[in-house]
Amino acid sequence: MSDQPVNSQITDAVTQANVKVVGEAATTLGLTQLYSLETTAVAGAPAKVAQTGVADNLTSLLTVLNAFKGGNGQS
């Protein structure tokens, strides 16, 4: 550290500002999580609406694989 004297009013102001930031951190984090969870829920809704059954997905996959093999679906 420097050997130069520092005005105590400056150090007090910096300390108070830092304490305020630390004190508000929990509130800020809580609000961030609240809004991000809401956004995630809204973003996931269309995927749930558009989701089809597992059987439909497997049938589609089998159709595509057979198209690449040039087969008729019979082994």
User: Would you list the DSSP string of the chain?
Assistant: ---S---HHHHHHHHHHHHHHHHHHHHHHHHHHHHHHHHHHHHHHHHHHH---HHHHHHHHHHHHHHHHT--S--
- Across 19-32, average pLDDT: 72
Question: Does some domain include residue 35?
Answer: yes
Residue 62 CA to residue 32 CA, distance in Å, equals 43
Question: Does some domain include residue 13?
Answer: yes
Where residue 70 falls among pLDDT bands split at 50, 70, 90? confident
Quote the domain boundaries for residue 16: 8-69
pTM for the complete prediction? 0.27
Question: Does some domain include residue 1?
Answer: no
Q: How many domains does the chain have?
A: 1
Question: Does some domain include residue 3?
Answer: no
Where residue 30 falls among pLDDT bands split at 50, 70, 90? confident
Q: Residues 6 or more apart from 33 whose CB is under 8 A from it?
A: none
Contact indicator for 37, 30 with CB cutoff of 8 Å? no
